[in-house]
Amino acid sequence: MSIDASVRPKRRVRLDSTVIVYIALVVVVVVGAILVNTAGRNFFSTGNIRDILTGMSVLGLVAIGQTLVVLTGSLDLSVPYVISLSSLIAAETMRGNPNNIAQGVLFALAFAAVAGLANGLVVTKLKVNGFIATLGVGLIIKGYLDTNYKGSSGSVPTEFQYIGATGLGPVPISTIIMLALATLVFLFLRKTRMGHHIYAVGGSLEVSRLSGLRTARPVIVAHIICSVMAGLAGLLLASRLGVGSPTVGSQGGYDLLSIAAVVLGGTLLAGGRGSIWGTIGGVAIFAVLDSVMSAIQFNPFLKDVVRGVVIVAAVAIYTGRGLERRRARFSTKEVSR
């Protein structure tokens, strides 16, 4: 008798949640295309595809960063204000002069990185819950914005506006940048120790600590990357608007929408499980829904209702699956001899 047979449980292959997201995306695209066609328009027209991809780029950037933060078990509610102030810093530094582009980008991202560092330090060193810590940092930035800006300010040169306006065929440059960064972050999570440790601290701080990890670092790094991504989103918005705006971030609702996309993408809000590609899928679902609802002239007030239903349904489905899997641990059938 070999020692293995008696404890080997039967394992069923389960769909990864990322796969489910993309199945859901396909369903949304098919149903959306049919609805749009019945409204007499072509869902797959170049213009429409470009609109959807453009819609994905800003939220995508923010959601990539948010994924990292959520994976560590934290949250970032300061992103809208980081976006707004980054756009202002960039536009005011550039002042319409193409020679200042590099400087403007640098300043905006440096500010974002500092904001992220502040978030990360408050969460890890002062042990303030991420929700409150980033809300606080966000409010501080908001206070600065409210007292110093009454409206849009600065201007970005035409050269910089190209980033937001051009594309390769139907694919906007901004979307390509977003997807390239998604790939980079995916590789970062998969191929670096820091990436592995982001999952570890989110999975269990105690296990990570007992395994000798410096548990603050992954959280701080995730917060910095998240804010820098928000800074990039601010730059992209500045490039589209041509100016910096103190309200561009909060009007977009990027804090809650990015968290929603992350969760829709199958990342556990408690941290420790999730993927970048799931998040991108979640962002795509939101973008397609938006596009379809505009195309069929859906009641704008009901748009958010649809978004809300989608996100709640998604989490309910994941939770149900999670419960089932937990149970399976206790009901694995033995292989009888």
Partner 1 sequence: MDIEINDDLRNSDTRRPRMNTPILEARDVSKSFFGVEVLHGVSMQLMPGSVHGLVGENGAGKSTLMKIFAGVYQRDGGSVLFDGAEVDFTHPIKAMHAGLATVFQEFNLLPERSVAENVFLGREPRKVGFVDNRGMSRATGALLAELGIDFIDPDALVASLSVAEQQIVEITKALSFDARVISMDEPTAALADHEVELLHAIIERLKARGVAILYVSHRLKEVFDLCDTVTVLKDGALVWSGATTELTPDSLVRMMVGRSISTFFPAAIEGTKVGETRLSVMGGGNGYVDAIDLTLRAGEIVGVAGLQGAGRTELAEAIFGAVPFTRGTTILDGEKVTIRSARRAVKSGIALITEDRKAQGLALRQSVLDNALLVIRGVFASRTAVVRREVPGILSSLEISFRGLNQEVQFLSGGNQQKVVLTKWLATKPRVVILDEPTRGIDVGAKVAVYSLMRELAKEGVAILMVSSELPEVIGMSDRILVMHDGRITAELEPGSSEETILSAATGTLTGPLEEVA
**Binding map of partner 1 across residues 307-336, x = CB under 8 A, - = no contact:** ------------------xx-xxxxxxx-x
- Token duo for residue 21: 């997201």
- Taking Cα atoms as reference points, which of 59, 129, 65 lies closest to residue 286? 59
Q: First and final CA of the chain: distance in angstroms?
A: 10
Binding test (CB under 8 A) with partner 1, winner from 153, 161, 204, 294 = 204
* 265-304 binders of partner 1 (CB under 8 A): 268, 272-273
* 127: contact with partner 1 by CB under 8 A: no
* 169: contact with partner 1 by CB under 8 A: no
**Binding map of partner 1 across residues 10-29, x = CB under 8 A, - = no contact:** -x------------------
Binding test (CB under 8 A) with partner 1, winner from 30, 184, 207, 305 = 207
Select 4 or 126, whichever has its Cβ closest to partner 1. Answer: 4
* 196: contact with partner 1 by CB under 8 A: yes
Q: Quote the least distance from Cβ 127 to partner 1, whole Å.
A: 17
d(C-alpha 233, C-alpha 254), whole Å: 10
User: Which helix (H) or strand (E) is 171 found in, with range?
Assistant: strand 171-172
d(C-alpha 29, C-alpha 229), whole Å: 27
- Taking Cα atoms as reference points, which of 298, 285, 284, 287 lies closest to residue 38? 298
Angle at 82 between CA 122 and CA 235, to 5 degrees: 145
Any idea what DSSP says for residue 271?
A: S
Query: Do residues 94 and 157 lie in contact, with contact meaning Cβ atoms separated by under 8 Å?
Result: yes
Beta bridge partners of 171: 168
* 34-63 binders of partner 1 (CB under 8 A): none
**Residues of the shown chain interacting with partner 1 in the complex, contacts defined by CB under 8 A:** 1-4, 6-9, 11, 190-193, 195-197, 199-200, 203-204, 206-208, 210-213, 268, 272-273, 325-326, 328-334, 336-337
